[in-house]
Structure 1
Amino acid sequence: MKLYDSIGPNPRIVRMFMAEKGIEMPKQAVDLRGGENRQADHLKRNPHGQMPALELDDGSYLSEITAICEYLEEKKPEPAMIGRNAEERAECRMWTRRVDLNICEHLANGYRFGEALAFFEKRIPVAPDASPGLKMIAANRLQWLDGQMADGREYLCGKRFTLADILLYCWLDFGSKVGQPLDPANSNLAAWFERVGKRASAKA
């Protein structure tokens, strides 16, 4: 296998997931800023032109971070970062879905349509007027999530550190660098963020 890697939170999610599982493989950097991901060679790997992409041993490719991480979990089940049984896997997928749809997507597009508009308007459809509203939705959903963490849970799935935590951590860390820092009033999430940041995999 080989990981086509780049800057950005999504490739980092896969690297952090791999670090937690002790998976190592060759990596090939793709120049995102230079538009290499929109050129023919990469579009053969992922027709959406997004990052990352995983080349399998049979020469086929996987994209989409959840699909890549679930594939790696099946190939190397331990340590389980999604779940060891149907109940654990369902719980992780539930939280991953909630975080992705309600927080990460809004945070990402708030940035793409706002501060990064000059970069993204040549690459994807953009809606500049939507940027403030998208950021507001992400902030609102983070406030909701902070309330969900108020019962003293250590991670999104209770005591288990999972893909859901990795997804949220990488995007919140990115948000802090692009004008969408976590509101310190979300004290439960702030404590969670500090805990996750101390993990060795956070350096991936």
Structure 2
Amino acid sequence: MKLLNSVGPNPRKVRMFLLEKGMELPQEDLDLLGGENRRPPYNERNPAGQLPALELDDGSIVCETVAICEYLEEMHPEPALIGTNARERAETRMWLRRVELNITEYGYAGYRFAEGLELFKDRMLCLPEAADGLKRKSRAGLEWLAPQLAEREWICGDRFTLADIVLYCALDFLHGVGQPMPETLSGLRAWFDRVQARPSAEASLSPGWEQIGMRL
């Protein structure tokens, strides 16, 4: 297997997942900022043009961050970051849906349509007029989640999971591009600090992220 890698919060999620698993994969870096993922030969293999992607030994490609992590967990079940049984896996997937559909996707779109517009306007349909509303939707999701995090260590209780990785990498990125975490959400802040204290958090950052000016 080989990880098709780049800068960005989504590639970072997979790198952090691998670090938590204690797995090492060969990596091929693509120039996302230069749009290498949006032109041949890459988009001939992955028409959606996203990064990261996982190239399997037979040459086939698995895309979508959560799908990549699901595949890796099935191949290497321990330590479990999705679950060891049906109930745990269902709980993790439930929270992944809640995190992505209520928080992270709104936040990413808010960035792409505002601060990131110059980078994304020729790569996808952008709606600048929607940016402020999307950011408010993301914040509303955080306001809903924060009190629940105040009552437990991780999103799934006492289990550190892929849901924590997905939310952490998104918030760490968004914080630096105009969507800081509200200081009033103390439960969220405490959870974030716990994730950031894990060795995988800093180790998953792209080399040169400081020069780019974003935690990717």
Shared fold (TM-score, shorter chain, > 0.5)? yes
Q: TM-score range by the shorter chain?
A: over 0.9
Unaligned stretches of 5+ in structure 1? none
> Letter of the aligned partner of 2:17 in structure 1?
F
Q: Tell me, what secondary structure is at the counterpart of 1:161?
A: coil
Unaligned stretches of 5+ in structure 2? 205-216
Identical positions, percent: 59
Runs of 4+ off more than 4 Å: none
Partner of 2:73: 73
Q: Tell me, what secondary structure is at the counterpart of 2:41?
A: helix
Partner of 1:163: 162
Matches within 5 A, 1:99-138: 99-138=99-138
TM-score of the pair, normalised by structure 2: 0.93
CA distance in 1, matches of 2:119, 2:21: 34
> Letter of the aligned partner of 1:127 in structure 2?
L
CA distance in 1, matches of 2:46, 2:11: 14
CA distance in 2, matches of 1:164, 1:199: 15
Partner of 1:182: 181
Contact 1:4–1:54, Cα closer than 8 Å, also in 2: yes
CA distance in 2, matches of 1:36, 1:98: 31
TM-score of the pair, normalised by structure 1: 0.98
| Structure 1 position 44, deviation (Å) | 2.8
Question: Aligned-pair RMSD on alpha carbons?
Answer: 0.7
CA distance in 2, matches of 1:34, 1:176: 23
Deviates more, 1:42-51 or 1:76-85: 42-51
CA distance in 2, matches of 1:100, 1:45: 25
Cα deviation per residue 1:95-118 (whole Å; 9 max; x = unaligned)? Answer: 011101111100000000011111
- What is the count of residue pairs matched by the alignment? 203
Cα deviation per residue 1:1-51 (whole Å; 9 max; x = unaligned)? Answer: 000101110000000000000110110111011110011111133110011
CA distance in 1, matches of 2:16, 2:137: 26
Cα deviation per residue 1:135-174 (whole Å; 9 max; x = unaligned)? Answer: 0000111000002223x20000000000000000000000
Q: Tell me, what secondary structure is at the counterpart of 1:3?
A: strand
CA distance in 1, matches of 2:123, 2:185: 34
